[in-house]
Amino acid sequence: MRTKIVATIGPASNTKEKLKALAEAGVSVFRLNFSHGGASDFVKIINYIREVEKEIGRPITIMQDLSGPKIRLGVVPEGSIQVSKGMELLLGPTDKRTDEMAYLPFDHEVIIESLEPGDRMVLADGGLQFIVRERRKKDGLVLLVADNEGIVTSRKGLALPGKSTRVKALTDKDKKDLEDGLKLGVDAVAISYVQTAEDVREARALIAKSGRKVPVVVKLERQSAVDNLDEILKETDIVMVARGDLGVECPLPKLPALQKHIIKACNAASKPVIVATQMLLSMVNNPAPTRAETTDVANAVLDGADCVMMSEETAMGNFPVETVQYMSKITTEAEKLLEDNRTLEEPSSDKGIPEFLAYSACLLADKAKAKAIVSHSLSGGSARQVSSRRPPQAIYALTPDPSTIKALNFVWGTTPIFVDKGQVQKTHLERAEEFIDRSPEFEVNDCAVITAGQLKDSSTPRGTNLVKIYWK
């Protein structure tokens, strides 16, 4: 299995025994959803994961997922409102409530002020849809017309498909959760409802202020984020195709094309990409997935996903371990097809040296029938470049940076290996050769392709600048 698995932790999986079983089944990254708690709620789980990590002998990454500005209705005094198609309702602040007609309390005045006639508003993940008829001049309340029938209850999530708002991605709660999570030792941070590259820069600044170095995962949930994808990719480390909210923001028939577009852009930028939401949802209650789910997971791998993620399946489901086992089997089979259909394409002339070095490494590995590609770097960038070309060979990424080790758990086909930085007398190339010589994964006369930084005059290498064929 070369596709990485991300599993969300919840009541169904928060014991040490379950966490170990999930890791042994193939989980590389555990997601902690801070929408359902604060740092204090995850202390025990983080400690369990670190114990499991030591017991199984491989690195496990902990990803903190910040809740973001989830936009919700206020409290509906009636408890619920039965809505019929064509029904008129008013939307406005709680303290401006009127008995003129059915009233939806909503205390985000910035958003209210941005609404215009014709805007579409969605509640309960698409269950209820409304059209804005007008924003009344006399009191500032918004007149809505229901586009379907359903029941409105308190605190329902609200979305405005296709509309950019001035709400920042990081709330005060997120900033506090981020500070606390970094102190607890999380390895990656996911930010929700990103709209612009500035949202990413704000998160990076807060992380830098803490003194920690962890990768940022951008969750693409809004059309505005997709529109700004190129700029966001320049700032982020990892991307998540968060199909739940994205499927509300964008018409569902367009979602498969959007997924392919995002993955292709991430692959081109050598940025790991996670596909998430409802991948094996039926396994919350069933011991096996549906045929459609199986196909969905396989297609995500064939599209170029580095990781596949489970939410309810492992957080609340009745079969969390079995779900991961199925996910592993499906991705393994898809990878065989990926290998069969792979073509190694030369980078376009506008690409830089890293892309051509990665291409050269993969080309040499194919021609020499190498068993593996071994990459030594501080940042893991060369391993990501190689991985983006989806070589059939195993990829071993050597680094002396513990934070890079954890970040590489998001990278397809890559096994991160920690090397001792204290061996200052050894070059990156020498460390790579030593790894091959000592590793039981390589037999005598096995061939490997090495990418590394070549030292010059005992100075620190400025990046990967060497590709070498090496026989054990």
The three state secondary structure string of 262-276 is HHHHHHHCCCCEEEE
Q: pLDDT category, 465, cuts 50, 70, 90?
A: confident
- Residue 173 shares a structural domain with residue 303: yes
| CA–CA separation, 43 and 8 (whole Å) | 15
Looking at residue 426, its pLDDT comes to 78
| CA–CA separation, 442 and 436 (whole Å) | 6
Q: Per the domain annotation, does 115 fall within a domain?
A: yes
Q: Per the domain annotation, does 254 fall within a domain?
A: yes
What's the CATH number where 271 sits?
Answer: 3.20.20.60
Q: Per the domain annotation, does 141 fall within a domain?
A: yes
Q: Per the domain annotation, does 346 fall within a domain?
A: no
Looking at residue 35, its pLDDT comes to 87
- Residue 331 shares a structural domain with residue 245: yes
| CA–CA separation, 221 and 164 (whole Å) | 12
Q: Per the domain annotation, does 261 fall within a domain?
A: yes
Known active-site residue 390: no
Question: Which residue carries 């020499």 as its tokens?
Answer: 368
Question: Which of 159, 178, 198 delimits the end of a domain?
Answer: 159
pLDDT in tens, 23-35: 999 999 999 999 8
Question: Which contiguous run of DSSP H or E holds residue 322?
Answer: helix 320-340
Query: What domain range is 288 assigned to?
Result: 4-69+168-339
- Residue 55 shares a structural domain with residue 191: yes
Q: Is the pLDDT of residue 194 over 90?
A: yes
pLDDT in tens, 141-151: 999 999 999 99
Which residue is catalytic, options 2, 4, 219, 384?
A: 219
Question: Which of 280, 315, 339 delimits the end of a domain?
Answer: 339
Q: Is the pLDDT of residue 470 over 60?
A: yes
Question: Which of 159, 191, 225 delimits the end of a domain?
Answer: 159
Known active-site residue 31: yes
Looking at residue 164, its pLDDT comes to 78
Q: Per the domain annotation, does 344 fall within a domain?
A: no
- Residue 56 shares a structural domain with residue 178: yes
- Residue 254 shares a structural domain with residue 281: yes
Q: Count up the domains in the chain and report the number.
A: 3
Which residue is catalytic, options 16, 70, 72, 168?
A: 72
Looking at residue 439, its pLDDT comes to 94
- pTM, full prediction: 0.91
Q: Is the pLDDT of residue 348 over 90?
A: no
| CA–CA separation, 225 and 261 (whole Å) | 13
Rounding to the nearest 10 degrees, give the CA dihedral for residues 414, 418, 422, 426.
Answer: -40
pLDDT in tens, 212-257: 999 999 999 998 999 999 999 999 999 999 999 898 888 889 999 9
Question: Which residue carries 């991160």 as its tokens?
Answer: 416
What's the CATH number where 88 sits?
Answer: 2.40.33.10
- Residue 92 shares a structural domain with residue 20: no
Known active-site residue 384: no
Per-residue pLDDT averaged across 117-137, rounded? 89
What's the CATH number where 386 sits?
Answer: 3.40.1380.20
> What share of the chain has pLDDT > 70, as a percent?
96
Q: pLDDT category, 163, cuts 50, 70, 90?
A: confident
- Residue 29 shares a structural domain with residue 137: no
Greater pLDDT, 354 or 410: 410
Which residue is catalytic, options 3, 236, 277, 427?
A: 277
Lowest mean pLDDT among 86-100, 157-171, 258-272: 157-171
Which residue is catalytic, options 20, 31, 243, 431?
A: 31
Count Cβ neighbours within 10 Å for each residue of 297-308 and write b for 16 or more, e otherwise: bbebbebbbbbb
- Residue 290 shares a structural domain with residue 333: yes
Q: State the chain's mean pLDDT as an integer.
A: 92
Known active-site residue 277: yes
Looking at residue 424, its pLDDT comes to 55
